[in-house]
């Protein structure tokens, strides 16, 4: 009888394990592929998804591929991506070499400041650049008054590409600096002993060994430039320069009666392009192992003494950090406390708190701030909990489709935020039951969660892999099933990684805007969408005030994360 009872209990536990694993897998598959599936379906329908009468057609793709605006937008996107990638790669790699391998002053401070664009929304950075360096920006007007000529034109494709590159410089810097920190100094010592100068050794040894990191970051920057919306939206639309993302934005929001077939087929085309790029990126990462030459780290890399060039390098790095990062953020903060920003009037004559009063007095502004925090708080919790279970299934169970589930969890890297928003919009309009969440915060939570699955997976999976399997195996031998061993033994040990995931996803959701432009409705506004609306109306003061709230909240979260975990985020 006891044997039968034990067998029954074992069968029940096995059934619960399988039920949990398949339920989580099914939810993940639906979360990732549901918005893609509805976009695919709409792209081959003759009418909108919510209309009852329809037929299969390929005319949407025909109209798309014969649309002159599409090819112009695609060409502009590729040009923007090439310029942005080249800018980010050259500057990021050079800054990594200078700050990691030379004796330049204030290296730690500059390294910290260079990471700021990772934490701050590209939309906020674009606002800062516009307010200082735009046609009527503070710095532009000051130089024009002194010299009589306008020093630059940000309403051009090359300028937009350079700005896009500035947002991606931290990505290249982090990958290259990590490689430089881990590099074995004996290789450079061998070159030095053969008579090479420090700079010759760096050029002949160090740079070739950085090639995997540079190639990895290069393709990542290209993907990031293609899906960028903020800079083309702020600087490109005024000059009628359209890229692929603004093409989607215009087709979906800029028309009173959107052409859903054209919008869907364009979304699918962008999705295919991004999938190919990310697939090539993953293949490149796998092949990068052939560059491995160091199996241990016997000596630390030497710091190169720049001699008389030290202060010249310091001036270059300080100028970049100040002009590209510090001044735009400082200018945005200052703009929030003045009636308008101009070098023609003393700033103390224009001081005001009206923009912050408007945030308090206008229900829509206050609601946007509160909504942003609600979405980030609950979304980060949902993603962290879901990904924790996903990693436990993939890394700590015998689930048959574990590897496939891991690939699905990482696939949202290939899905641009604007395509996610379009997909969830159609789900909310057409799928029974989901029409109740259309225009609500829950729709934003789902869309943002889908986007941030890879971020959480990258934070939790490495830590989970380091935990010995002996721990959950010991629990299993004591009678615990997979779920009990995972939740009571493994998950508590991985709590620091889960906390890191939560804070990373929180920051990511707080600054997200692209996936929300198609999803928000009255009552579900967030800071990013409100800033875009205010910007369109020319209300730059409230835009700056909202940006200050977002930057302050992000900085507080990042500092708290570092204090709690004793590590740097994004490292």
Q: Based on the number of CB atoms within 10 Å of its own CB, is 147 exposed (0-12), middle (13-18) or buried (19 or more)?
A: exposed
Q: What average pLDDT score do residues 146-163 get?
A: 88
Q: Where are the domains of the chain?
A: 1-43+353-571, 58-107+152-314
Global pTM? 0.84
User: Does the pLDDT value for residue 437 go beyond 70?
Assistant: yes
Lowest mean pLDDT: which of 50-64, 313-327, 459-473?
459-473
Give the integer Cα–Cα distance in Å for 170 and 87. 12
Say which residues have a Cβ less than 8 Å from residue 269's Cβ, sequence separation at least 6: 64
Domains 1-43+353-571 and 58-107+152-314 share a fold: yes
In CATH terms, is domain 1-43+353-571 a member of 3.10.50.30? no
Residue 359 DSSP symbol: H
Instruction: Decide if pLDDT at 2 tops 50.
Output: no
Number of H helices, E strands in the chain: 28, 0
Q: What is the pLDDT of residues 392-428, one digit of tens each?
A: 888 877 788 888 888 888 888 888 888 888 888 888 8
Domain 58-107+152-314 grouped into CATH 3.40.1650.10 = no
Statement: residue 90 has pLDDT above 60: yes
What confidence score (pLDDT) does residue 177 get?
Answer: 81
Residue 375 has pLDDT above 90, yes or no: yes
CB 371 within 8 A of CB 525: yes
Q: Is 253 in contact with 180 (CB distance < 8 Å)? A: no
- What φ, ψ does residue 102 adopt, rounded to 5°? -120, 170
| pLDDT higher than threshold 60 for residue 295 | no
Is the model's pLDDT at 443 over the cut of 70?
A: yes
- String of b and e for 431-446 (b: at least 16 CB within 10 Å)? eeebeebbbbbbbbbb
């Amino acid at each position: 009888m006891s044997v039968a009872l034990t067998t029954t209990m074992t069968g029940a536990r096995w059934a619960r394990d399988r039920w949990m694993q398949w339920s989580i897998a099914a939810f993940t598959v639906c979360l990732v592929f549901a918005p893609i599936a509805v976009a695919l379906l709409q792209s081959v329908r003759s009418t909108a998804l919510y209309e009852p009468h329809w037929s299969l057609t390929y005319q949407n793709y025909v109209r798309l591929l014969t649309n002159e605006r599409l090819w112009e937008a695609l060409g502009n996107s590729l040009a923007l991506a090439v310029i942005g990638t080249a800018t980010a790669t050259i500057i990021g790699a050079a800054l990594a070499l200078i700050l990691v391998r030379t004796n330049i002053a204030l290296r730690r401070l500059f390294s910290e400041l260079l990471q700021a664009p990772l934490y701050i929304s590209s939309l906020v950075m674009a606002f800062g650049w516009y307010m200082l360096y735009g046609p009527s920006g503070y710095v532009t007007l000051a130089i024009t008054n002194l010299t009589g000529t306008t020093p630059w034109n940000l309403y051009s494709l090359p300028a937009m590409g350079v700005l896009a590159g500035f947002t991606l410089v931290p990505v290249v810097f982090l990958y290259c600096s990590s490689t430089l920190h881990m590099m074995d100094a004996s290789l450079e010592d061998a070159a030095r002993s053969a008579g090479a100068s420090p700079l010759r050794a760096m050029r002949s040894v160090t740079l070739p060994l950085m090639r995997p990191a540079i190639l990895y970051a290069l393709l990542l920057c290209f993907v990031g430039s293609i899906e960028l919306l903020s800079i083309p939206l702020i600087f490109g639309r005024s000059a009628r320069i359209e890229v692929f993302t603004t093409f989607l934005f215009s087709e979906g929001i800029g028309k009173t009666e959107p052409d859903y077939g054209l919008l869907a087929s364009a979304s699918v085309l962008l999705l295919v392009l991004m999938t190919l790029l990310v697939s090539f990126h993953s293949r490149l990462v796998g092949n990068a192992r052939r560059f491995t030459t160091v199996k241990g780290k016997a000596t630390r890399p030497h710091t190169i003494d720049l001699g008389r060039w030290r202060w010249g390098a310091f001036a270059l790095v300080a100028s970049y950090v100040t002009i590209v990062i510090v001044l735009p953020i400082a200018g945005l903060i200052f703009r929030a406390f003045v009636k308008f920003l101009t070098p023609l009037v003393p700033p103390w004559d224009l001081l005001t708190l009206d923009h912050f009063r408007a945030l308090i007095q206008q229900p829509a502004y206050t609601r946007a701030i509160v909504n942003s925090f609600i979405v980030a708080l609950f979304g980060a919790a949902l993603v962290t909990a879901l990904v924790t279970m996903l990693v436990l299934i993939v890394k700590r169970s015998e689930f048959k489709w574990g590897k496939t589930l891991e690939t699905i969890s990482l696939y949202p890297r290939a899905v641009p935020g604007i395509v996610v928003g379009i997909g969830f919009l159609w789900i909310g309009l057409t799928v029974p039951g989901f029409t109740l969440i259309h225009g609500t915060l829950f729709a934003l939570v789902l869309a943002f969660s889908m986007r941030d699955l890879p971020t959480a997976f990258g934070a939790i999976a490495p830590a989970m892999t380091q935990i010995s399997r002996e721990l959950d195996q010991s629990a299993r031998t004591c009678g615990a099933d997979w779920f009990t061993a995972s939740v009571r033994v493994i998950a508590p040990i991985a709590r620091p990684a889960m906390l890191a995931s939560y804070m990373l996803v929180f920051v990511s959701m707080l600054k997200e805007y692209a996936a929300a432009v198609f999803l928000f409705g009255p009552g579900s506004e967030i800071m990013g969408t409100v800033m875009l609306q205010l910007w369109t109306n020319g209300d730059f003061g409230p835009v700056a005030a909202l940006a200050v709230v977002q930057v302050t909240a992000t900085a507080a979260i990042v500092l708290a994360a570092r204090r709690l975990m004793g590590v740097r985020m994004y490292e």
